[in-house]
Amino acid sequence: MSVLLRSRVLRRLLTIPAVLLMLVLVVSTVPLWILVAVALSPLLPGRWRPLRFTWFALLWLGLEVGAITALGWLWLVHGAGRRLGSPAAVEAHYRLLERLLGWLSRSAKRLFSVRIGLENAVLPVREQPGLPGPRPLLVFSRHAGPGDSFLLVHELVTVYRRQPRIVLKDALQLDPVIDLLVNRLPSRFISPNPGREGSDVAAAVGRLAKGMDGDDALVLFPEGGNFTERRRQRSIAKLEASGWNVHAALARRMRHLVAPRPGGVLAALDAAPDADVVFVAHTGLEQLNSALDLWRGLPMDREVRARFWVVPASDVPAGHDARIEWLFDWWARMDTWIDRRQGHHD
């Protein structure tokens, strides 16, 4: 897999034909898949779970192929790739991203009975492409369960008309649409393995945040991965081993969040000193950490709650140590909000 992640040409020569071949195989056997799903649905827990999953998988595959076709067309109309970095090309790719996220969001809500509630989600809206916008945003969010990055980017693109700059794990490039689309936008794919080339996350985040304007919003998950109790305990142990005993004690009091890694946050703040900061907490996806959890947990029949806090650039403290303290204080505040929301639902 490491070879595929390093070689863009080899990766695309394998993943794109694989998706197209899958489409041919699935389309030729669609009636069989649906019949099997209908037959299994009454025998398994959950309301028509196999049929819902089958339908969503067919939709996902259709969107993958449609997006690959659209991306090929955009490559052609922008000078066979020569003008993909132009403002018009970037805007066109963000609009394609908006449509894809919109289709997926509407389908997921209907098929899986997902309801989304946003609290205090009041951010400055970019009024019109090409016109000066409000301040750039640095968005620091918790990471728990599948779909939180999807939810967040969807809100930024469709509601607030921002152009998100995204930090993603390099393995996601094995999805050809993510590979083609996100690599044409301001983004950074990083390796979670610190021993590999290109794994300096803080430096990558700093380069990505540099030069942002009022159209842009950088999205970062400072925890570095989905919440698990094992990851939470490991983060506390690392803090203690580094002599950060005060931060370790604060992290130990958090029940729902992994201690944030300050490197990327500090790099983003240094590179974009005029940006407002948005902290995002959410609850409702915590129990869906694996494919098996996802199968068991859907249809969800629940509400995903998210809360935004906006900190003006003028209120961000100066200095390395002060900013780390500030970040941990915000993480503790987010943990308290999650605890209250979950207690409310219980």
Q: What is the pLDDT of residues 139-148, one digit of tens each?
A: 999 887 666 6
Q: Bigger pLDDT: 206 or 27? A: 206
113 assigned to some structural domain = yes
* pLDDT value of position 306: 84
* pLDDT value of position 133: 56
27 assigned to some structural domain = no
How far is the C-alpha of 286 from the C-alpha of 155, rounded, in Å? Answer: 20
Q: Bigger pLDDT: 41 or 271? A: 271
* pLDDT value of position 104: 84
* pLDDT value of position 233: 93
Residue 198 binned pLDDT confidence (cut-offs 50, 70, 90): very low
Burial (CB < 10 A; 0-12, 13-18, 19+), residue 318, is exposed
The mean pLDDT value for 59-85 works out to 93
Q: What distance separates the 2 farthest-apart alpha carbons in the chain?
A: 62
Residue 284 binned pLDDT confidence (cut-offs 50, 70, 90): confident
3 assigned to some structural domain = no
234 assigned to some structural domain = yes
264 assigned to some structural domain = yes
Residue 292 binned pLDDT confidence (cut-offs 50, 70, 90): low
Q: Are 276 and 135 in contact (CB under 8 A)?
A: yes
How far is the C-alpha of 322 from the C-alpha of 317, rounded, in Å? Answer: 6
* pLDDT value of position 124: 56
Residue 195 binned pLDDT confidence (cut-offs 50, 70, 90): very low
Assess whether pLDDT exceeds 60 at residue 326.
yes
164 assigned to some structural domain = yes
Residue 115 binned pLDDT confidence (cut-offs 50, 70, 90): confident
Q: Please, what is the end-to-end C-alpha distance for the chain in angstroms?
A: 42
Assess whether pLDDT exceeds 80 at residue 149.
no
Q: Are 227 and 219 in contact (CB under 8 A)?
A: no
Q: pTM of the prediction? A: 0.85
195 CA to centre of own chain? 24
Q: Bigger pLDDT: 328 or 1? A: 328
3-state secondary structure of 254: coil
* pLDDT value of position 197: 42
Average pLDDT, rounded, for the chain: 84
Domain count, the chain: 1
Assess whether pLDDT exceeds 70 at residue 128.
no
Residue 13 binned pLDDT confidence (cut-offs 50, 70, 90): very high
Domain that holds residue 113: 92-345
DSSP bridge partners of 281 = 307
CA-CA-CA-CA dihedral for 231, 295, 297, 303, to nearest 10: 90
The mean pLDDT value for 255-263 works out to 92
5 assigned to some structural domain = no
323 assigned to some structural domain = yes
